[in-house]
Every structure is written in structure tokens, then in C-alpha cells.
Chain A
């Protein structure tokens, strides 16, 4: 049954640009977040291509090393805070109220504000590219004392991070409030789709750690401008303390970037396997365990700072433990596929690609947890390969899977399936061509964040650069496909996918501007 809601005066909204500026509608705000992420994806991607161009051959060809460092720094900040986080927040905005049978987000005006902070934060961050002393070039990890050598860009960088943090915290509070208060009668916590569960846990992580980052960068700011010595050894401060503060934020942050993808994949695999998700409750507990563990493993990013032996051993063991709940998730997905009746539409392809390549990233993560071996891996391209495997064919593939999965619902039009599949296969081929050789150069001894390298690394760097350009151009297909689907296409049914289950598929495609003004009945 599709609940067609009669138009009410609530459906009126200003047209044109004012609709988007003043909107408090969760679907509009979700769309804004997703488009913002798309724009940033191409900006961050361009930066990656600058990096890969310079690394195509040994020697300095295109950019100054300082600008190269700015590119690695800004690429990371843009991709993390400007692409993956807003894209997942956009998906949350669109889908969570619908999935729990609520009419909208719990705090719609704050929702508007949390989005509209982002363009200002990123204008500020990107404007540093034209400032004296260049954009921040000390790495996205902002380790002092190097980050304190940043020029005019420094306060802009810090305030941009403050704004992104504000936006994330408000978004997270909104999501928690929505999930805990807006569920339709009968939608108990253990009936919620996993996407909602993973986002609930992610939101708590955000609320817990974004203030820690804000505190850390504020201490940097006062060290730079107000004569404090939090991290200045000469003044009695401790440069390593920053790393502890940063990674206490940073490690939960990497789970913030991946947990919602687990939710997306847990929605897609059962749909196209036409079989219920295996081990729903163990998936919930595994997500919660990963979230808990994320708070006690931070120093594995710092194995080489010279921690005492006991510290190294503790963080090694705690980190290895994460493999257990992560393994449970992968096993559950594979068992969900087992004896299903699968079809392989684009969302399913991206979800399967996610499982395979995220697991490869998980394996290298396990290797990195082994402290003695980490001394050889740390700060090399092996690490670059590792985290790009979990973030690109991990988080980004999950976001793309989600877009293909829900695009017919959002727009009412089917996307061109063949083109979607071409996009998947090109992306998969090139993403591996880019990142797999990085394992090899890393093991062979190439440090990360260098603009030039010695000759033994040349071959694989050339391959990686070719892969990066291929991957970049393949994403233009994605952009084209989305615009084309928004403009038209064969009409999607309400159900869209044969095996789809959940409240979003009971609404019309596209759903009415306000959905579930009266709560649906939950079986």
C-alpha cells in the first residue's frame, strides 16, 4: 500500500533559491547535504589528481613541495569533513525519519542551520589556498610544532574546523533526538533498520569526540597567538599530548566514517539476496562493540612516538580486538547472501565491492595493529593503501551504493542500469589500480606525504597515478547519471526493488514532501 498524503498547506514552500535557504524539510536538507558532498568530492578529487600528477614520475615536475603538502592536507580535510561526513548526514536526513515512520527530523530549524554552516566553513577552508604562506601544509592531523608554522591560513583553518565540528555536533544531536523521539508506535529499538542503528551509534561517537577535536585545535590556536605552551616543549609543554588528544578524536572519527556504511550495506544485501539479514541483533551488538573499542585504541596511530612498552602492548591488543566484531559483520553479510536468490543491480554490485575491498582494508588494518611490524609500516604508503581501501571502496562505495539504492525512491525515476554497472566496474578496476600498488611501495620503503621519491618506487607510482585519473574520470559518469535520473527516466514503482522491505518502500516514489504525518502501522 502506498500512503498518498493529501496536499496540505504544509506542502507550500518558497520556490527557487529561497526554498533551499529557508527549508526545514528533512528531504530538502538531505538533498542539500548530498549535493554539497558531491561538489566537495570533485574538489577533493582534483587535489588528489594534483598529488598523483606530481608523483607520476620521480623528480619535481608540477608543483612546489610546500604546495604538494597543502594538497595532501586539504585533500584529507575536504574528503573527510566535506564528503564522507556530509554524505552520510544527507543519507541520514533523507532516510532516518522515513525509516522510523516519523514525520521529519526532531529539530528541523537546527537541521537547516547545521547544513548551512558547512558552505561557510568550507569557503573559509578553501580560501586559505590563496593566502600568504599557502594553505595548511602540516597534514590533516595538524601535529605541532609543524602545524604552528602555517602562515596566514592558520586561524582560518582552526575556525573552519570549529564550524565543521559545530555542524556535526548539531547534526548528531538532531539524529539522536529523532531516533529516540520520533519513532512510529510499535517501532521498537530492535525493530529499527540497521542503517538507523549504525547512525544512532555514530551520532553518539560524534557528540563524544568532536568537542575533543575542538579543544585540541583551540589549544593550537592559543599556542600560536596567545603565548600558551600546551604543545611547546621549550615552554614546558608536550608536543605528544596533541597527538593523544587528536587521536582520541581521530580514531572514533574513522568509525564515524565507516559505521553508517555498515548500515547501508546491511540494507542492500538482504534486498538483493531476497533473504532477511542474518544475525540482526549480533550486528547491533557488533556495531556497539566497535564503537566502544574505538575509544581505547587511539594510540595505535602513535606506536613510534616512544610510548612505554606497556602502552604499546595494551594498544596492540585492544586494536587487534576490533577484528572480532568487524569479522562478525562480514560473516553475517556473507551468510545473508548464502542460499539467497541474488540479483546484481548496481547497488548490490557496490555493496559486494564494499564487502570485498573493505575486508582487504581490514586485513591490512590487522597487520598494522602488530606493533613490531607497524614500526616498518608506520607513515609509509602501506598505511595510505590501508586507509584508502577502507575509505574509498569502503565508505565512498557504500555512499554510492546508497545513492543507487534510494535514487529511484528519491526521484521517482529509475537510473540507467547499464550505465550504473559501467560506473561500478570502472570504479572498481581503477580504485584497485590506484591503491593496490601502494601496498607494495609502502612495504618497499616509500614514506607517505613526500612529493618526490627515489627510483625504486617509480613503476608502481606511475600505475597508481594512471589508476587515480581513471577513477576520477569514472566519477563523471556518476554525476551525469544522477542528473539524468533527476531529470527523467522510466518511472519507478513504490516498491522499486523486488526484495525491498522497510517503511521507505511503502511511500510513493518520489515520496510526498511531508511523509508519515500520521504514523504508519508497524507489524
Chain B
């Protein structure tokens, strides 16, 4: 009875998704908006398909055997139990396939580690439980934290579409420019992750980690802290707004001016 109930529920749920908001994209890794993120997606799909093919072959052989070589069919069991050439074959073939995977993976990895010629440098510091962004070589810096109201979290009001992935102050960056992020933490470990940029790295106290990105398309990209950092680990999202270069320059100039006047006010 229990099983049937669950089955019915499951089928109804499945039907709901296909009607509502499902689609292949919801089930798969995001392709992202940088050259590298698309390469990573390509790698992911390559390995996935290789695994699928191997799986079909191995499970195919197994299910064939399960169907055909069963006692109820009156078969007599064979007695063979070793073959050096077979063992050799299924050691070498996977090895060669692995090399085929390792080569493109290493190439992408080398690109990801190339931080040269970066034009914009932003320092990110993780705190329990918010992020600080500092635009190096300017006086602009600010904190960015979750802006979802508690009422939504505690189910007292309806959740908005960006529930738990909205912040009070977005990180503004330009498109088509190489941005270098320097990452550290002021308390425990955090990890700064934006899937659309294929960037994830740990923020570690006492360390400065590096990563870089060139964003191809303007837009708002949402990410989250990926390393367990305590009670509000699930509540420290990241929102990046990628804008055209001109818009970025204007924003930065204004932010610098605002900061200068703030400092002037304090000093008075």
C-alpha cells in the first residue's frame, strides 16, 4: 500500500515537472557564460557520455547474461575461470580511454590557472556569514549579504523567485575584461562559487587564493558559499552583475566619489 501511494505521488510529481518548469537544463551542469565554463561543460558531457557507453556495454552484457544464463533455462554452467589475455585487454583499454580524458582535462586546467594579463583585481573576504568585496587600486569596498527576509525563510510569507539567492549589494564587474579574484577568509573556511563562471575556490584564513575570469555576456549570475561554514552556511549567497565596460566605469567612478565624500564627512 505504502509503495503504491508513493508510486502515485512520484508519478504525479514527475508529471508536474514536465508540465511546469522542467527541461534538460535544470538537470544538468550549467554551461555558463565564459569560454572556460563552456569547456568545463564540454568535459563534463564528454566524460558523462563515455561513462554511459561503458555502462551500456557492461550492464548490457550483464543483463544479457541474467536473461540467458539462468538455471531455469536448463543451462549447464561453463567452467572457464581465467584468461590472461582478457585481463590484459580490460586493463589496457580503460587505461587508453583514461588518457583520452586526461589530455583535454589537463589543457582546460592549465587555462584555468593562467591569471596573467588581468585588468581588474578584486579581493573577496569570507566572513560568517557574508562576503566582503574590495576593488583593489580603488577605494571601493563593501559587504554583501543575504537580503531574503526572515519571514520568507520561516514560511510566514511567500517566497520570491530569488529566494536565498539575493543580496543587498551585488558585485559589479565588466564583461570582456579579465578579472582576477583574490580570495581569503577572516574566520572559518568558506568557498566562493558561481556556477555560471565555473569558479569555485576555498576562502581560507591565512591564505590568498587566486582565480580569474572573462565574462562574455552581461547579466546577473548567482552563486553560493560551498564550504560548510557554520549555522548560516546555507544563507550566504553571491550575486554578480556583469555590465558593459562603460557602465562599469561610470559605476566605479560614482562609487569612488561616494566613498571619498563619506570619508571626508567622517574626517570633519
Is B105 within 8 A of A372, CB to CB? Answer: yes
- For the complex, give the distance between the alpha carbons of A282 and B10 in Å: 43
Contact B82 A309 (CB under 8 A): no
Task: Say whether B76 faces chain A, with CB atoms less than 8 Å apart.
Answer: yes
Q: Which residues on B sit within 8 Å (CB–CB) of A273?
A: 69, 77
Does B204 sit within 8 A of A, measured CB to CB? yes
- A487 shortest CB reach to chain B, Å: 25
A residues 250-292 near B (Cβ < 8 Å) are: 273-282
Q: Which of A160-168, A363-371, A392-400, A403-411 contacts B (4 or more CB under 8 A)?
A: A363-371
- Say yes or no for B102: interface residue by CB 8 A criterion: yes
Chain B CB within 8 A of A338 CB: yes
**A60-B154, A373-B43 known; A146 vs B87 contact (CB < 8 Å):** no
Q: Which residues of B contact A330 (CB under 8 A)?
A: 58
Cβ of A339 and Cβ of B78 under 8 Å apart? yes
Residues of B close to A313: CB separation below 8 A: 106, 109
Distance (Å) between the CB of B38 and the closest chain A CB? Answer: 11
Provide the residues of chain A in CB contact with B77, threshold 8 Å.
Answer: 273-275, 339-341
Q: B231 touches which one: A66, A139, A448 (CB < 8 A)?
A: A66
Q: Does the CB pair B27–A340 fall under 8 Å?
A: no
Would A328 and B193 count as touching, CB distance under 8 A? no
Nearest CB in chain A: distance from B191 CB, A: 6
Please report the C-alpha to C-alpha distance between residue A366 and residue B47 in the assembled complex, in whole angstroms. 8
| Interface range on chain A (Cβ under 8 Å from partner) | 35 or more
Within 8 A of B (CB), among A350-385: 352, 355-356, 359-360, 363, 366-367, 370-373, 375-376, 378-380
Give every chain B residue within 8 A of A61 (Cβ-Cβ).
155
- Which chain B residue lies CB-closest to A145? B188
Docked-complex contact B6 and A466, CB < 8 angstroms: yes
> Nearest CB to that of A382 among chain B residues?
B29
Contact partners of B40 in chain A: CB under 8 A: 372-373, 375-376
Do the beta carbons of B65 and A58 come within 8 Å of each other?
A: no
Judge whether A3 is part of the interface by a CB distance below 8 angstroms.
Answer: no
Cβ contacts under 8 Å, A490 to chain B: none
Contact A463 B234 (CB under 8 A): no
The answer, yes or no, to whether B48 is at the interface (CB within 8 Å) is yes
A455 touches B161 (CB 8 A): yes
Q: Across the interface, name the chain A residue whose C-beta is closest to B106.
A: A313
**B214 at the binding interface (Cβ < 8 Å):** no
- In the complex, the answer to whether A360 meets B82 with C-beta atoms within 8 Å is no
Q: How far is the CA of A276 from the CA of B80 in the complex (A)?
A: 8
Please report the C-alpha to C-alpha distance between residue A444 and residue B17 in the assembled complex, in whole angstroms: 15
Interface contact A376-B98, CB-CB below 8 Å: no
Contact in complex: A316, B106 (CB < 8 Å): yes
The answer to whether B188 and A149 touch across the interface, beta carbons within 8 angstroms, is yes
**Which residues of B have CB within 8 Å of A36?**
none
When the two chains form their complex, are residues B201 and A304 in contact, meaning their CB atoms are under 8 A apart?
yes
Convert A429-451 into 0s and 1s, putting 1 for each residue whose CB lies closer than 8 angstroms to a CB of B.
10001000000100111011111
A455 to B101 alpha-carbon distance, docked (Å):
35
Q: Does B71 contact A (CB under 8 A)?
A: yes
Q: How far is the CB of B46 from chain A (nearest CB, A)?
A: 9
Which of A316, A330, A371, A447: most chain B Cβ within 10 A?
A447
A521 within 8 A of B: no
A163, chain B: closest CB distance, angstroms:
25
**Closest CB in chain A relative to B23 CB, distance in Å:** 11
Among A304, A312, A332, A473, find the residue whose CB has the most chain B CB atoms closer than 10 A.
A304
Count contacts on B: residues with CB < 8 A to the other chain: 101
Q: Is the CB of B163 within 8 A of A455?
A: yes
A320: chain B residues within 8 A (beta carbon):
98, 101-102
Q: Which residues from B are CB-within-8-Å of A418?
A: none
- In the bound complex, what is the Cα–Cα distance between A370 and B104 (angstroms)? 10
Contact between A445 and B30, CB atoms less than 8 A apart:
yes
Chain B, 70-111, contact with A by CB distance < 8 Å: what is the 0/1 string?
A: 111001111111110011001100110010011001101110
Instruction: Tell me whether A16 is interfacial, beta carbon within 8 Å.
Output: no
Question: Which residues in chain A, 317-353, are within 8 Å of chain B measured between CB atoms?
Answer: 317, 320-321, 323-324, 327-328, 330-332, 334-344, 352
- Name the one of B47, B75, B82, B95 contacting A280, with C-beta atoms under 8 angstroms: B82
Roughly how many angstroms separate A239 CA and B193 CA in the complex, as a whole number? 20
Count chain A CB atoms within 10 A of each CB in B48, B66, B71 and give the residue with the most: B71
Q: Which of B167-175, B222-230, B240-248, B251-259 lies at the interface with chain A?
A: B222-230
User: Is A59 positioned at the interface, with any CB of B under 8 Å from its CB?
Assistant: yes
How near does chain A come to B9, taking the closest CB pair, in angstroms? 6
A304 to B202, Cβ gap below 8 A? yes
Q: Which residues of B contact A149 (CB under 8 A)?
A: 188, 230
Known: A146-B229, A275-B79. A450 touches B90 (CB 8 A): no
Binds A, one of B117-125, B137-145, B205-213, B260-268: B205-213
Selected contact of A306 from candidates B209, B223, B232, CB within 8 Å? B209
Instruction: Please state if A380 and B226 are interface contacts (CB–CB under 8 Å).
Output: yes
Indicate if the CB atoms of A378 and B230 lie closer than 8 Å: no
Q: Which residues of B contact A379 (CB under 8 A)?
A: 191, 193, 200, 226-228
Top 10 closest A-B pairs, CB basis?
A233-B206, A450-B234, A306-B209, A363-B51, A339-B78, A276-B81, A146-B188, A341-B77, A379-B226, A341-B71
Contacts A60-B155, A328-B91 known; 15 new A-B pairs at CB < 8 A: A58-B159, A65-B232, A145-B189, A277-B81, A282-B87, A316-B106, A334-B62, A337-B62, A337-B65, A352-B62, A375-B201, A376-B198, A447-B233, A450-B224, A454-B164
A-B contact pairs, 12 of them (CB 8 A): A149-B188, A277-B81, A337-B66, A339-B65, A342-B70, A370-B47, A372-B36, A375-B201, A379-B200, A444-B26, A454-B165, A462-B13
Chain B residues close to A by CB (< 8 Å) = 2-3, 6, 9-10, 13, 16-17, 21-22, 26-30, 36, 39-40, 43-44, 47-48, 51, 54-55, 58-59, 61-62, 65-66, 69-72, 75-83, 86-87, 90-91, 94-95, 98, 101-102, 105-106, 108-110, 112-113, 152-155, 159, 161-165, 183, 187-189, 191, 193, 195, 198-202, 204-207, 209-210, 223-235
Q: Taking beta carbons and an 8 Å cutoff, which residues of A are in contact with B?
A: 58-61, 64-66, 69, 137-139, 143, 145-146, 149, 233-234, 237-240, 273-282, 304-306, 309, 312-313, 316-317, 320-321, 323-324, 327-328, 330-332, 334-344, 352, 355-356, 359-360, 363, 366-367, 370-373, 375-376, 378-380, 426, 429, 433, 440, 443-445, 447-456, 459, 462-463, 466, 470, 473
